[in-house]
Every structure is written in structure tokens, then in C-alpha cells.
Amino acid sequence: MSVRVVARVRPLLKSERELDVIVRTGVSAITAEAKLRETENGDRKLAALRDRDNIVRIPNPKNEGEEYTFQFNAVYDSDVAQQELFDAEVAPTIKHLFNGFDVTLFAYGVTGTGKTHTMRGGKSLADRGVIPRLLSGIYRRSRKIEKDTEGETQVKVSLSYYEIYNDKVYDLFEPPEKRTLAGLPLRDNGGKTVVCGLTEKPCTSLKEFEGLYDQANNNRSTSATKLNAHSSRSHAILGVKITMISSDKTRVSTASAIDLAGSEDNRRTENDKERMVESASINKSLFVLAQCVEAITKKQHRIPYRESKMTRILSLGQNNGLTVMILNLAPVRSYHLDTISSLSVANRTRKIEVREIENDPIFKGPARPSVRPSLASSRQPLRPLNASVNVNLPAPGAKDPAKKEDEKPPKAFSVLNCQGDPLSRDPSLSADGPAMRSLKQSRPTLAPIPSEPEPQPSHADISAARIEEMVEKKVEEILAVRAVSEQTRQNQVQELNDQLQRRLAQLEQRIEGTEDARAEGLSYLLMGKQHQARGENSSALKMYQLALPHFPNNEKLASKIATLKERMQGKTQQRSSITPASPPKGRFGSMLSLKKEPTLTLGKRQAEDVDADYMGQAGDAFSNDDGPPNSKKRNTQSLRESDPELDALDDFDPTVSPRTLHLLSIVNSRDVSQIKLLKGVGMKKAEAIVDCLCEMDQSSSSSGDIEMISDQPQFQLSSLAELSTLKGVGVRTVENMRSGVLV
């Protein structure tokens, strides 16, 4: 049976005009024809039934001349009273309820179209909605049953009432202050979605119901919106559980009456932030409902029930019993697009099949086999247990003498008692249906059953205490094995950890040792280089020799040492054969000799080329003119890469840029006021530089190989390398000075 969908058009509100009415109701041509026929045949009863409208007409919003027509099971125009709607749509479901079927009634529609009015209604008798009338009908029928059975059957009614607000479930029988942020959880129970922790209130009379219902409705989330002064901000679900207890059985069925929140077009609502959040949640759940409806009607594999709590609870198409959807419509143009959208969803919902299965009665005393044919036919096909053979079955032809003729053989199949399987309702799958017949034909025959089943050990003589003792023993054994293996595992882990720690320490030592040795070697190299730059060849040689053990296979270092040795030997020979020994040079004498001996520059350049090959290793050391050689704070490697001109610091490249020339001219001016303005140079450093230069002037005045400026002998720095060797000046300082020079 498909979902019954009826439409109800609400009357115009005070603020609405007759002029704007666009929704019309009517009777379809086929129905009108049938009515005519029945009237002619004198079948008045049937003809009266045809009186009811069943179509809704609405103009195409893009072309007013065109009309859309939607047909439903019934359509109720604005003049239809609450009583009439109830009598026609809800009252007939009550008897099904008492026959064990679940009933779901839900009102669907845009905000302000009359859902709450239809479900709950007003206070006056005439205005009472579907829900109080349903309860009234239930109590009336309960009393009738109790009276007819002379008290043998008792009917108990209990209520649950909850709302889904912002996709969270709240018990409406609980005051709002008792709510938790997360709301109540949902659980799947035998194919039905149930709300955990929900209050179930026994309710014995209509009066009691009214008290409970009114009180609970005060807890419901409602607010005034632009489209409805009392807009429901939640979906409200009232569950009416009916338990019929007779001498031999108990039957439970539930009527669910759902007042859905209405979809909202927020361009029209002008909702504030809080209302918008609610609205988004309402619209989302209704959108999911529309998606579910579409997926079901298109027979899609996946129905997105679980994407919203409302759809999960409503379980449209999955719930058994009877389902009635009341589509509420506003008649006016301002709802035009929303109305068409609602009509489309409702139209699709009509096509949803609902299984009309009553709930299983609970029998008192020993369990009885199911006798209802409807249930038997709703079972899923049997599935073999692990594709194995039924060892309990006798071999074909062989009869167990101990068993009676009519006794059913025990099942060796797992039976999925899933009433939700649509296949099971397919008549073609009935025992003698065509599908079953073909299945029987195509099904592979079961493997032959052993005629003599393996003898099973008899346990009849084992006492409960003995079994307990055996179980305890077994558990202890297992635990002991586990404890031992756990201990072994822990030992292994510990051993592994120790090994790893040892290995790590060794590695660290090795790395540290290598680093230290490398740093030491590099510092010797650096010192050698500095000595060489100052012309202190013997010191430079000594340093290079000290560096050699740290770079034992470096040919360039070896050749550098050899070159220096040669040079020194040559000098000694020169000194001893040509010139008398000159007085030892001051600290900066070497600088002058650099300028004086172009041949040496070549030799030096060769030596510096050797250094260039260390750069990969010694980059750090060479960068640390102002700090400890192995300090890793600085990285002149990058400086060198970023500024090739600074390479001249090492290479003593005579080619200098205008910037360098300018810098050198400032320093060579010995003007403290100018030098202190250089970047990274303060007053103290400027004075130190000038002092150093003056010292050099004095110590080298005797050599006669210095420029005469203003009749004063002055040593002139000609490269950044020379500048970097001055006391208190390093590569970094030079680079700083140079970067601040604007040319």
C-alpha cells in the first residue's frame, strides 16, 4: 500500500487578499466521469465518495496561462472543517491501530500553511485538530473493546512526546532546563529508530491527555517569524502507544502524529541569527526528506535517511503499517514557488509503498509458532548456514523413528526475520510463485547428507559445578599463557630499547667527535688563512700543518703547505744571499708585502684556491671572523653565494666594484666622523680602525712603499679582504659596512 497523501488548503488570513489566490481545488476528469456513471446507476454511496476533490491546480509561475495539476488521494479546500478532515482521513486508521498496525500521520508544508492548526488545532471543540481527536477516538475505542470483552481485554495508552530542534532530540515531557546540549540519542532497534531515554507517560483519559499535551507544548520551540506569529521551530512527534492485553496475548501498536516544522524562504522571513540557524536546520531536514522521497521513488540503492534525525525517525517507506501525509497549502501567490515545490514532493510521496504489516503479538506462556500467513510470506529467503549441510537432517529417504510424522525438522538455516524486505512481499517469491519455481530449479542441490552422523559425546552426566570448574581452569590456563607471553614481549621490547640507546649513544659520540675534529681543523685553516693574509707565512704554515691531520687526504692543503714552504725557503735564501735581514715587521707589515709582491699574490691566489675547495666543509669557519670558528650562528656560505664580490675577501680579487671602492676610500680617509657613519660601525669601532691604520702607517713608513698623501705617508687598503683583517673588523662587519654604502 502506498502512502496516502491528502492536501489541505488553508483559508485566507486577514492579511491576505482574495485577489492573490492562485491555488484551486477540483475533481479530476476521470473521477467526475465515474461519479456521473455511479449516479446514473443509482449507486449513491459511491457517488457521494466522488464528491471529494482530488486535484490541486496552480499556475505555472513562468507562464500564467498554463496550469499545473497535481492529483492526490483527497484534497480539502479552505472551507473544510477539522471534524471533516479527521473523519475522512484519521478516524479510519484507528481500527487498524487496534488491529496491531502502526499508524503514522504527518503534516508537511511551508511555514504558515496550517500544519500545527491541522495537527493540534485550536482550543474550541470545533477547532480541535487531528491529535486530540485521534486520542479521543482511541479512548472511545478502548472503552468499547474493554466493554465488549467484559474486561478480558485491557487497553493501556501511554504517550511520548519529543521535538527535533536543530537536529537534536528533546523530550517535551521534560522541562527545557533539564535538556542536555547533545539531546537524546537515537538507536536502531529491530529496524525501527527509537529515541533513548524518552519519557513514556501512561495516560488513561482524554482529559489527562489534554493536560499533558498542553503542558508539553509549552516546552516546544516556537517563535514569531515574519511569516507566522506562532511558527514551530521544531518537528514535534507525539507517540501514542496502545497496549492491548488479553488473557493469552499482548499486542502493541503505535500511532505517531508528527507536526513538521515548515520550510522557510529566508528572503521573506527576515529572520535574525537564531531564527536563521533554526531555519537552516529545518530546511536541511526537509531537503533530506525530499531527497529520501526522490531516492525511494526512483528505487535508488541508497536512501539518505541518516542524514537528518527527522528522516531517520520518520523512516518513510521503511515503516510498516499505514502512513498518511497531510500536505498543507497556502492559497496565495506569495507562496507560489514554495507551494509548487511542496506539491512536487507530495506528489512523489504518493508513489512510496509502505508495507502493511501488523506488529507481532506477544503470546503468554510457551512460545507459539507464527501462524500469520502475512508474516510467513514476509520473511527473507532462507540462507544456508556457512553453506554447510544440515547435520541434523536425516538422509533423504531415511526416517528418524524417534520422530513423529508431522514434526518439523530442525532448521539448519539462519532466518532473517526482516519484515523490511520488499522482495518478501513480492507474490512471485511466494512458495509457488514463478520466481521461487525458477529458483528451485536453478538452485544447486545440497551435498548428500551423511546417513550416519558423527557420534556426539554425551554431556548429560556433567554437573553444572563441574562445567564451571572446567571453564575456570581453562580461563586460568589462557590467562597464564597470556601473562607469560606478555612478560616475554616486554623483555624483548626492553632489550631492543637498550640496544637502540647504545647505538644512538655511539652514533652521537661519533658525530660529536667528527664535528669537534672538523671544527678544530677548520679553525686551524682559518687561522692559517688569516696569518697568510697578513703575510705571516711561517705562522700560516704552522696552522696549515696543524690542520692537515684533520684533512689528511686533501691534496690542495698539502700543496698549499708545500707552496708556503717553498716560498719561505726562497725568502730565506734571498735574505741570506742578497739583502741583510730586515727588522721584523709589525703586525701589519705583511699587508704591505702583499702589495709589494705581485708574484706572491699569484702564489697566494693559488693557496686561496685550495681554500675554495674546503668551502663546503669550512664555510662556517670562514664566516666566523668575529666569533668562534665552529659557531653555527652565521653562514657566510650564503653570504658568499648571495654576493660574489665578497668572495674577493678570500680570493683577494683586485677587481673591485664602485661600492667597494667608495667604502675603501671612506676607511682610507681615516676620518672617524665618516667611518662611524658606516653601517654596523660605531664611534669606538671607527676609532679602532683609524688607530689601526695609523699604526700601520707608522710601522711601514720605513719601507717606503706606501702612498704619499698630503706629504704624509699613508698605507692604503686596496681590498675588502685587507679591510677585514684590521683589528676588530671581520667579514661580517665588512659586509655590513659595504651593504650600507650607497653609490
Ligand X SMILES: Nc1ncnc2c1ncn2[C@@H]1O[C@H](COP(=O)(O)OP(=O)(O)OP(=O)(O)O)[C@@H](O)[C@H]1O
Residue (of 237, 211, 236) closest to 221 by Cα position: 236
Residues 245-304 that bind ligand X (CB under 6 A): 261-262
Residues 164-193 that bind ligand X (CB under 6 A): none
234 is a site residue for ligand X (CB under 6 A): no
Stretch that binds ligand X, among 10-18, 162-170, 298-306, 578-586 (CB under 6 A): 10-18
The reply to whether 408 sits in an annotated binding site is: no
Burial zone of 305 (CB within 10 Å; 0-12 exposed, 13-18 middle, 19+ buried)? buried
The reply to whether 197 sits in an annotated binding site is: no
The reply to whether 733 sits in an annotated binding site is: no
* DSSP helix/strand/coil, 465: helix
Instruction: Tell me whether residue 109 or residue 535 sits nearer to ligand X (CB atom).
Output: 109
Residue (of 226, 229, 235) closest to 272 by Cα position: 226
The reply to whether 111 sits in an annotated binding site is: yes
Output the smallest distance, CB 177 to ligand X, in A. 24
Stretch that binds ligand X, among 133-141, 230-238, 335-343, 583-591 (CB under 6 A): 230-238
13 is a site residue for ligand X (CB under 6 A): yes
Output the smallest distance, CB 208 to ligand X, in A. 25
Residue 36, sorted as left (phi over 0), alpha (psi -120 to 50) or beta, turns out to be: alpha
Residue (of 90, 82, 92) closest to 121 by Cα position: 82
Residue (of 611, 635, 640) closest to 623 by Cα position: 635
675 is a site residue for ligand X (CB under 6 A): no
**What is the grid cell recorded at 73?**
488521494
How many beta carbons lie within 10 A of that of residue 167, not counting itself? 18
Output the smallest distance, CB 18 to ligand X, in A. 15
Residue (of 321, 269, 306, 263) closest to 105 by Cα position: 321
The residue from 113, 153, 660, 724 that contacts ligand X (CB under 6 A) is 113
Instruction: Tell me whether residue 114 or residue 321 sits nearer to ligand X (CB atom).
Output: 114
Output the smallest distance, CB 435 to ligand X, in A. 45
Stretch that binds ligand X, among 157-165, 223-231, 703-711, 727-735 (CB under 6 A): 223-231
The residue from 5, 101, 109, 535 that contacts ligand X (CB under 6 A) is 109
Output the smallest distance, CB 227 to ligand X, in A. 7
The reply to whether 109 sits in an annotated binding site is: yes
The reply to whether 586 sits in an annotated binding site is: no
Check if the beta carbon of residue 737 is closer than 8 Å to that of residue 662.
no
Strands 235-245 vs 249-259: parallel, antiparallel or unpaired: antiparallel
β-bridge partners, 68: 58
Stretch that binds ligand X, among 23-31, 96-104, 111-119, 669-677 (CB under 6 A): 111-119
Instruction: Tell me whether residue 260 or residue 675 sits nearer to ligand X (CB atom).
Output: 260
How many angstroms separate the CA atoms of 110 and 601, rounded? 95
The residue from 193, 219, 221, 228 that contacts ligand X (CB under 6 A) is 228
**What is the grid cell recorded at 172?**
517535551
Stretch that binds ligand X, among 19-27, 227-235, 244-252, 384-392 (CB under 6 A): 227-235
Residues 116-135 that bind ligand X (CB under 6 A): 116-117
Burial zone of 400 (CB within 10 Å; 0-12 exposed, 13-18 middle, 19+ buried)? exposed
β-bridge partners, 155: 244
Binding mask 326-365 for ligand X (x = CB under 6 A): --x-------------------------------------
Stretch that binds ligand X, among 172-180, 228-236, 414-422, 551-559 (CB under 6 A): 228-236
Instruction: Tell me whether residue 262 or residue 321 sits nearer to ligand X (CB atom).
Output: 262
Structure letter (DSSP) for residue 430: S
* DSSP helix/strand/coil, 71: strand
114 is a site residue for ligand X (CB under 6 A): yes
The residue from 54, 104, 193, 232 that contacts ligand X (CB under 6 A) is 232
Output the smallest distance, CB 4 to ligand X, in A. 19
231 is a site residue for ligand X (CB under 6 A): yes
How many angstroms separate the CA atoms of 321 and 325, rounded? 13
- Round the CA-based radius of gyration of the chain to a whole number and report it: 50
Burial zone of 216 (CB within 10 Å; 0-12 exposed, 13-18 middle, 19+ buried)? buried
How many angstroms separate the CA atoms of 182 and 218, rounded? 21
Output the smallest distance, CB 426 to ligand X, in A. 38
Output the smallest distance, CB 126 to ligand X, in A. 10
Burial 116-152 (b: 16+ CB within 10 A, else e): bbbbbbeeeeeebbbbbbbbbbbbebbeebeeeeeee
Binding site for ligand X (CB under 6 A): 10-11, 13, 109, 111-117, 228, 230-232, 261-262, 328
Annotated binding site for ATP: 109-116
Annotated binding site: 109-116
